[in-house]
Chain A
């Protein structure tokens, strides 16, 4: 074992391979919670999840149960889901409306939605104690920092560090690409969240997101099945709906996948460029482009629609498919269990037919009855099981190692199947865990 006796992490992550304990050791998982999930910016939710004052959604940030809530003044607070009195959780429901105040169900302490204590029953009982209402500890604790970029709310539980925009860097194109595609420049959440648990370490999911080598292998069955039916429909009625293409695109041969580029940014973020050809010339798309030109003008519309992204990974916990308005938030539950929360969005001002496109992808690829992730989750489980094997200590990321182009800190792969995104994620992991 290359691990130091003092429990240090040095030697576990090399530029082209990672020791299996990084995925399997519960002690390392706990350090990841402290040094990654409790420090960097973690996605909390979209502002449109809480449209009215008092609306709240509960969310797990690292190990912390938190509440994202809309205040009277339209601002958004993110609070620790804990009553400062005896420590009971305040909101036991996943979402709802708190009305004017959060009320603790145990002893009736009341709080403004921004966390400020509002009333305590028989407050005289605290006179002369060090827990009187002027003590800030009587308020619900607030997240150290809350940031929002184009309606997407992130939380950092650390006082110091990069701002949200600095942290996202150029990878914020995930949200620009999604929102710019809306004639009104913003998106609105569709209030259904599919939640699926993976029996594997959270990093295994992130590594899969931009892995262009796996789709035609892992998803061969779904791709072929869709292709057969797609051709059958085409024979019967001319053209199959785009939905079938979402699946049959998995049959793209490996040589084509190798032509797709990945762009790898600081902090572990990466982009996989598009391969699906999501700019068809059917009447619905032409109508949508007309609406876009009305709002943005010809040149800007062209600029927006020619952004060619399939996936953006925002390390360490968000996978965004901007051209189809979907995102998957990663919530590590334990070293070998990971929850994904899957949302999709409407482009404000776009024709209904364009929403149906996002919806088709959400239903087919991202629902709990997905024919795609059925095989991914199976692989993730196998990857995690394999970590227990003494057949080898290292997980390999050697593919095209040393052959990517470094453009002032931005790593551009020359090949789509380069394992540059995984190497880039571990560069960030090592930086973030440096203090651990």
Chain B
């Protein structure tokens, strides 16, 4: 695992010229991907607003995470449980260590409400995971509902639809994709 510390939190909030939403959102998504690959879980959670959710629906036709099965449907409290578990010395499945590589692209700004400070962005991702001499691949679409805050862009909801989300899982997903 690369131990170098990426200054993700600060960079994620760095201002661009304030007009180029496309570039600003792209930079934000790249930073989030980097945070995941660097396993900076607290920084990952801090990318979300106080009421933010990370949501991976069970099926692509779902329109809300409320009252329906989800693979992940986590507010900051549940994310904190997940982070605390993997950091516990007796999280047995954390040995062997594992690594991921995320690529994010095809970023499309669906909405840019300057008045409300809300942005909806769609992108494509690919995650390769390596654990115990085996690779797994997960790929699909992110849909970020972003909010402009005094700290920079923050996520009100991140929806993750994996093209192989309904398939058979060989082992589980220990952390966010």
Chain A interface residues toward B at CB < 8 A = 190, 192, 194-197, 199, 218, 220-222, 224-226, 228-229, 232-233, 243-244, 247, 339, 344, 352, 355-356, 359, 362-364, 367-371, 373-375, 377-379
CB-defined contacts of B56 to chain A, threshold 8 Å: 369
Query: Considering the chains assembled together, what is the distance between the CA atoms of A249 and B89 in angstroms?
Result: 19
Is B81 in contact with A247, judged by CB distance below 8 angstroms?
A: yes
How close is B10's CB to chain A, nearest CB, in angstroms?
A: 26
Which residues in B have their C-beta under 8 angstroms from that of A226? 81
B-side residues, CB < 8 A to A, are 56, 58-59, 67-73, 77-78, 80-86, 88-93, 167-174
Q: Identify which of B69, B80, B82, B92 contacts A378 (C-beta below 8 A).
A: B92
A339 and B168 contact, CB distance less than 8 A: yes
Q: Are A371 and B82 in contact (CB under 8 A)?
A: yes
Closest residue of chain B to A226 (Cβ to Cβ) is: B81
When distances are taken between beta carbons in the complex, the residues of chain A under 8 Å from B84 are: 224-225, 228-229
Question: Which of B58, B73, B91, B170 has a CB less than 8 Å from the CB of A194?
Answer: B58
Closest to A224 in B: B88
A243 to B77 CA separation, bound complex (whole angstroms): 11
In the assembled complex, the Cα of A232 lies from the Cα of B86 at a distance in Å of 18
Separation of A364 and B58 alpha carbons in the complex (Å): 13
Docked-complex contact B70 and A363, CB < 8 angstroms:
yes
Question: Which 4 pairs from chain A and chain B are nearest by CB?
Answer: A225-B84, A221-B88, A221-B91, A225-B85
User: Are A377's CB and B171's CB within 8 A?
Assistant: yes
Q: Once bound together, how far apart are the Cα atoms of A233 and B59, in whole Å?
A: 30
Q: Would you give the shortest CB distance from B32 to chain A, in whole angstroms?
A: 18
Write the chain A residue with the least CB distance to B69.
A192
A226 to B74, CA, bound (A): 13
- Whether A196 touches B168, Cβ cut-off 8 Å, given contacts A356-B67, A369-B173, is yes
Taking the closest CB of chain A, its distance from the CB of B64, in whole angstroms, is 13
Residues of B within 8 A of A363 (CB): 69-73
Count the A-B residue pairs with Cβ separation under 8 angstroms: how many? 106
Q: How far is the CA of A224 from the CA of B72 in the complex (A)?
A: 20
Q: How far is the CB of B80 from chain A (nearest CB, A)?
A: 5
Which of A197, A229, A370, A375 contacts B170, CB < 8 Å?
A197
Measured CB to CB, the closest approach of chain B to A367, in angstroms, equals 5
- Report yes or no: A190 in contact with B69, Cβ–Cβ below 8 A: yes
Q: How far is the CB of A357 from chain B (nearest CB, A)?
A: 12
**CB within 8 A of B67: which of A233, A244, A352, A368?**
A352
Contact A192 B172 (CB under 8 A): no
- A339, A359, A374: the one contacting B172 at CB < 8 Å is A374
Give the distance in Å from the alpha carbon of A192 to the alpha carbon of B59 in the complex: 8
Closest to B90 in A: A220
Smallest Cβ distance from A435 to chain B, in angstroms? Answer: 33
Complex Cα–Cα for A225 and B85 (A): 5
Q: Is the CB of B93 within 8 A of A375?
A: yes
Neighbouring A residues of B172 by C-beta, 8 Å: 196, 368-370, 373-374, 377
Determine the distance from Cα of A55 to Cα of B78 in the docked complex, in whole angstroms.
37
Report how far A379 CA is from B93 CA in the complex, Å: 8
> Does the CB pair A197–B93 fall under 8 Å?
no
**CB-based contact B93/A374 at 8 Å:** yes
Chain A residues contacting B77 (CB-CB under 8 Å) are: 229, 232-233
Complex CA distance for A355 and B66, rounded to whole angstroms: 12
Given A225-B84, A229-B77, A368-B169, A375–B91 Cβ distance below 8 Å?
yes
CB-defined A-B contacts under 8 Å, sample of 19: A194-B58, A197-B169, A220-B88, A224-B85, A225-B82, A229-B80, A233-B77, A339-B168, A352-B67, A363-B70, A363-B72, A367-B69, A369-B56, A369-B173, A371-B81, A371-B82, A371-B174, A375-B91, A377-B172
